[in-house]
Structure 1
Amino acid sequence: LRRTSGRHPHLRLRLQGARQRPPTGGGGATGKRRENMYKGWLFKWTNYIKGYQRRWFVLSNGLLSYYRCQAEMGHTCRGTINLATANIAVEDSCNFVISNGGAQTYHLKASSEVERQRWITALELAKAKAVRMQDESGETQARGSHTSEVQSTLRTLGSKVEDLTTCNDLIVKHGSALQRSLSELEGLQVGPDMGEKIRQVTERATLFRITSNAMINACRDFLSIAQSHSKRWQKALQTEREQRIRLEETLEQLAKQHNHLERAFRGATVLPPSLSGVSGKGDASDEDDDNEFFDAMEDPTGFITYDELSLASNSESSPPLELEPVRQRRTRIPDKPNYYLNLWSIMKNCIGKELSKIPMPVNFNEPLSMLQRLSEDLEYYELLDKAAKCQSSLEQMCYVAAFTVSSYSTTVHRTGKPFNPLLGETFELDRIRESGYRSICEQVSHHPPAAAHHAFSEKGWTLRQEITLASKFRGKYLSIMPLGSIQCMFDKSNNHYSWKKVTTTVHNIIVGKLWIDQSGEIDVVNHKTGDRCHLKFAPYSYFSRDVPRKVTGVVTDKDGKAHYVLSGTWDEKMEFSRIMQSSKGENGTEGKQRTVYQTLKPKEIWRKNPLPEGAENMYYFSSLALTLNEPEEGVAPTDSRRRPDQRLMEEGRWDEANAEKQRLEEKQRSTRRERERDSVKAVPTPEEGSHPDNYQALWFEKIHDSVSGETLHVYKGGYWDAKEQGSWEMCPDIF
């Protein structure tokens, strides 16, 4: 298996060591210490097919290496992690994880909790020593390298300054001579000396022109060198800032997890280690080939030229007033059980099929319905609150575009598949007293599966969408193509926006660590003003030097004139900048002429909320997602919270959940057959091409929107009145 990921290039280290005799006393992880070396057997997670495999690990000089057996130590190292840059995390009593900045991840299991603690202690001590040594050597090398580069650049710039000084002296000299000749020419009477004087003036004018050209060329060289090194220094400074921010975040997480361990293990005889970031399980290590890594581009907005002016904005700089929550929402759900399942035994016969037609056990799911995932689009509702206050439709477009990008931020680690909603299933999200909005979703069609969503805010906006998912399993990856339209309307301005979603791709379905990418283009259109924002989600490429998950966009008016640029990533943050000037640049890779925008200083418009503590054990749910399946009184009997198979899965009772899932699906098929029989009785000879299932949604009706030109299900009202009255007799029995 050949794998590429991470932000920095690494080379596998092959260590030469003496052959060691196998440990005595069975096959457990019995670590042995000799001077600065610690070694022993551990079980290492390889992939979903092989599971955990017994490997011989050696800790020496700040490097953790492993081999298939002790005899390999003299010739074949299977992998090495430098502890100086590694994160060490405890999963449970016997399991722990070592991750090298996201590039390499080892999921390890010891034979006992005591043995695991011995390894953790040895690893932490080795890491601390390796960090000290690396800091000392790195500081010396960096200081020398940086000093040498700066001195070389200063020498080059100094020589160019001397050239400019020499050219300046020559220009002054020849300019004075030319001026004297011109003065003499003015006082000269017409006569035989006229030709000689004119020749002198011409000669001196030529010298002056040559010297001036030399001066101009020297200035151009100086400017080119200065600009080149200025960009490099700016990029280096930006890299240092990003590294400092990452370090601060890591230290903050370290402190939180250290406190958590102290509470959990208070009274233990062995001091527990502190934790750094924990990566999700499922990384299949490459035990036969070298791993390859490529640099990512540090600057995601390199195509923009900035000046030092600040961005004038009509939006409020202070955050909106937060309403006091009326109830305390939950912050945890039961940890995800560690169930092993052979994916290939289920997926090998499903290549090329629609995802909705594949009988999937709950082992591949997360304990949320697709309707609840759809409601998660509202996590960053504040962007629409701010958009509703904008006086400028172009600036409002920036906030709407940032909202469309923010909906993908929850998917970056969410490799679990949401439950397919049953026909007639609903989900309400009532945050009217806490956040000023409420939403209702309903599964309005089964073939093809389609969900309708309506959200209303007291802050002056309405969001509605109908999403149908088309998906194909391709063997190595799964493509999910959302079909349907999303619309947002603002009460104050009557601006009506619409857009569609991009393609989601889940990679490494059978072997390897699952990872998700978003790719494609989105056009957000204001149907009232003609404004448009074209967003481009760049697909991840092993060979691209762009920052992963990059998103760029340009906001234009109805005449096509660009006013704002947006840039960032769909999993972290977005910025927007006002365009002051645009010009045509060099041709791009496809022969098209690029446009270069000169903008004001960028302003952050959206940033992803941090995940809650322990999210890696809770399906990587956000704080909002943790509350979506929380039991709540007064909801409709068709609400996703009442779905029994989903509830059993959340509680960790997966076998019972699978049985319930099969029962619900068979009940849905039986109900559909009865509905089709009734439809045939009512219309014995249906029209050609029509479907005998005449199901009608309960809370939504299908209409043609004349503004956007889309046909979709729109909320027809009645749900919240029914909830207030507690009258649900019209709801079908689906659970």
Structure 2
Amino acid sequence: MDSTGEKSSGGGFFSSLASGMRNWGSAVHKSVNGLLGYEGLEVINPEGGTEDAEAEAQRGRWKQEDRDSYWKMMHKYIGSDVTSMVTLPVIIFEPMTMLQKMAEIMEYCHLLDQADECEDPYMRMAYASSWAISVYFAYQRTWKPFNPILGETYEMVNHDGITFLSEQVSHHPPMSVGHSENEHFTYDITSKLKTKFLGNSLEVYPVGRTRVTLKRDGVVLDLVPPPTKVNNLIFGRTWVDSPGEMIMTNLTTGDKVVLYFQPCGWFGAGRYEVDGYVYSAAEEPKLLMTGKWNELMSCQPCDLEGEPLPGTELKEIWRVAATPPNDKFQYTYFAHKINSFDTAPKQLLASDSRLRPDRYALEKGDLSKAGTEKSRLEDQQRGEKRNREAKGDQYSPRWFNLTGEITPTPWGDLEVYEYNGKYTEHRARIDSSNSNDEIGITSIGFNPWQYTNSPAE
């Protein structure tokens, strides 16, 4: 079924659709055979146009000289995980760090509020899984966020009653941890991205653990998202696809949501589409879910064959909010709020991503300064590591603790961090004070190296 409620023919509700899409193939793949030095390099056109590979390869954000230079630097890394081993040019970055990007999942956090308030256990799962899907609209941006510096943080308040905190807890491998909370839920994530560079594309595997606790009934939800592929990194128009399954499990009751992100097919067929079911603990389908991750999600009660129950209708659960027209970085209004000091708490931590001089320079359009500051911060981070190793010091995160728990994921094992509660105490002290200090890029110097000088101590 599509978002208009039209039923697909034959078999179970989604069986013929899913089978057809899987067998049909993916978007048009072409090799750049005529460009000297790029033989066999894959260019993927999601629209399946009539242009030949060379014409498609020349499109996109890169000038020819930049494209050539970048390819010379990157081709030696084909087949490698490039998460932390490559120094990348600032031209491909957006003025946001990975810690801030982690906060984008909170844009539609009201869906978790609705899940917490919901009496129907299956609608609860529909709301929660729609929340998990909603962030993919933001994830389709093709600019790269800055890698956080070890000890860097990001704080956000003034959005639907939540507090949000993320911290970079490891540099090699890069790992980010986040915690968010309001009166309805707590959200905790340990994230370690794993990548594979394929020449003109990048596969991204979300090696992470995401847990949401709904406070009213103490229900704990676990989320396993699909992998993502960034196509046409150097040649052609860059675009993002996330084909595969998203699974959300109610660890308290055993209920489960399984949603299939359709791969982009010929001439864009299936792109953005998401279909699946909410299952009971007995693995019986209770609700069908359908929609597009860049537009909306809906659900409808179904029978044991997955067919819509007679007399029922699709219920819209989530719809993407309006976005700024012609935004340079394809930002949503919420993404701009994330960068803004309007969502910063009083006495912002000096380690906050908003204060990074490279990020701020890029936001203001000064690419030269952004590149210089990025290199300076990376050099300073390497120097801090040498000093720490010379002293025999072991780096410890400030706001999260390593649990010792190792959790398996589809893409590798993960060391789990947990929120230690110290930030809540720190923030309570600040909020109860009479301080009205101005905060901003000019009033606080960026300092993520808090293991030697923490304001919480």
TM-score normalised by length of structure 2: 0.76
Deviation of 1:543 after TM superposition, in Å, equals 7.2
* TM-aligned CA distance change 1:339 to 1:606, over 3 Å: farther
Does residue 358 in structure 1 map to residue 70 in structure 2? no
Deviation of 1:340 after TM superposition, in Å, equals 7.3
Does residue 701 in structure 1 map to residue 401 in structure 2? yes
* TM-aligned CA distance change 1:654 to 1:340, over 3 Å: farther
| Structure 2: distance between partners of 1:553 and 1:658 | 44
Residue 634 of structure 1 corresponds to: 347
Unaligned runs of 5+ in 1: 6-48, 51-101, 105-283, 292-335, 584-594, 680-692
Residue 564 of structure 1 corresponds to: 287
Which SS does the other structure have where 2:193 is aligned? strand
Contact 1:483–1:501 under 8 Å retained in 2 = no
* TM-aligned CA distance change 1:730 to 1:722, over 3 Å: farther
| Structure 1: distance between partners of 2:314 and 2:381 | 52
Deviation of 1:714 after TM superposition, in Å, equals 1.3
Which SS does the other structure have where 2:378 is aligned? helix
Which SS does the other structure have where 1:628 is aligned? helix
Contact 1:551–1:570 under 8 Å retained in 2 = yes
Residue 207 of structure 2 corresponds to: 483
Aligned with residue 443 of structure 1, among 168, 182, 191: 168
Residue 316 of structure 2 corresponds to: 604
Contact 1:365–1:419 under 8 Å retained in 2 = yes
Amino acid in structure 2 at the alignment position of 1:650: E
Residue 325 of structure 2 corresponds to: 613
Residue 345 of structure 1 corresponds to: 72
| Structure 2: distance between partners of 1:416 and 1:500 | 24
Residue 651 of structure 1 corresponds to: 364
Residue 373 of structure 2 corresponds to: 660
Amino acid in structure 1 at the alignment position of 2:417: H
Amino acid in structure 2 at the alignment position of 1:608: V
Give the number of the structure whose alpha-carbon radius of gyration is greater. 1
Does residue 573 in structure 1 map to residue 296 in structure 2? yes
Does residue 509 in structure 1 map to residue 233 in structure 2? yes
Residue 429 of structure 1 corresponds to: 156
How many residue pairs match? The answer is 384
Contact 2:397–2:451 under 8 Å retained in 1 = no
User: Which of structures 1 and 2 has the larger relative contact order (alpha carbons within 8 angstroms, sep 6+)?
Assistant: 2
Amino acid in structure 2 at the alignment position of 1:455: S
Residue 688 of structure 1 corresponds to: none
| Structure 1: distance between partners of 2:179 and 2:135 | 16
| Higher helix fraction (1 or 2) | 1
| Structure 2: distance between partners of 1:605 and 1:519 | 22
| Structure 2: distance between partners of 1:359 and 1:715 | 31
Aligned with residue 582 of structure 1, among 292, 300, 304: 304
Amino acid in structure 2 at the alignment position of 1:422: I
Does residue 498 in structure 1 map to residue 217 in structure 2? no
Which SS does the other structure have where 2:211 is aligned? strand
Which SS does the other structure have where 2:266 is aligned? coil
| Structure 2: distance between partners of 1:520 and 1:423 | 32
Does residue 404 in structure 1 map to residue 132 in structure 2? yes
Contact 1:426–1:443 under 8 Å retained in 2 = yes
Deviation of 1:637 after TM superposition, in Å, equals 0.5
Which SS does the other structure have where 1:648 is aligned? helix
Deviation of 1:666 after TM superposition, in Å, equals 1.3
Deviation of 1:630 after TM superposition, in Å, equals 2.2
Deviation of 1:724 after TM superposition, in Å, equals 5.2
Deviation of 1:468 after TM superposition, in Å, equals 0.5
Residues 106-131 of structure 1, C-alpha deviation per residue, up to 9 Å, x if partnerless? xxxxxxxxxxxxxxxxxxxxxxxxxx
* TM-aligned CA distance change 1:729 to 1:606, over 3 Å: closer
Deviation of 1:647 after TM superposition, in Å, equals 0.9
| Structure 2: distance between partners of 1:645 and 1:706 | 35
Residues 584-605 of structure 1, C-alpha deviation per residue, up to 9 Å, x if partnerless? xxxxxxxxxxx65546211111
Contact 1:352–1:474 under 8 Å retained in 2 = yes
- Percent of pairs identical after alignment? 30
Does residue 380 in structure 1 map to residue 108 in structure 2? yes
Deviation of 1:720 after TM superposition, in Å, equals 4.2
Which SS does the other structure have where 1:396 is aligned? helix
User: Aligned Cα RMSD in Å?
Assistant: 3.4
Amino acid in structure 1 at the alignment position of 2:322: P
Does residue 625 in structure 1 map to residue 335 in structure 2? yes
| Higher strand fraction (1 or 2) | 2
Aligned with residue 731 of structure 1, among 437, 450, 455: 450
| Structure 2: distance between partners of 1:478 and 1:340 | 21
Aligned with residue 423 of structure 2, among 708, 714, 719: 719
Aligned with residue 554 of structure 1, among 277, 284, 287: 277
Which SS does the other structure have where 1:422 is aligned? coil
Which SS does the other structure have where 1:525 is aligned? strand
* TM-aligned CA distance change 1:4 to 1:466, over 3 Å: closer
* TM-aligned CA distance change 1:527 to 1:543, over 3 Å: same
Contact 2:395–2:451 under 8 Å retained in 1 = no
Which SS does the other structure have where 2:274 is aligned? strand
| Structure 2: distance between partners of 1:349 and 1:390 | 52
Residues 447-503 of structure 1, C-alpha deviation per residue, up to 9 Å, x if partnerless? 211100000012x11111111000111012111111011110011111100012221
Unaligned runs of 5+ in 2: 1-25, 29-34, 37-46, 434-446
Amino acid in structure 2 at the alignment position of 1:492: R
Q: Write out aligned runs for 1:216-255 (5 A).
A: none
Deviation of 1:542 after TM superposition, in Å, equals 2.3
| Structure 1: distance between partners of 2:452 and 2:62 | 31
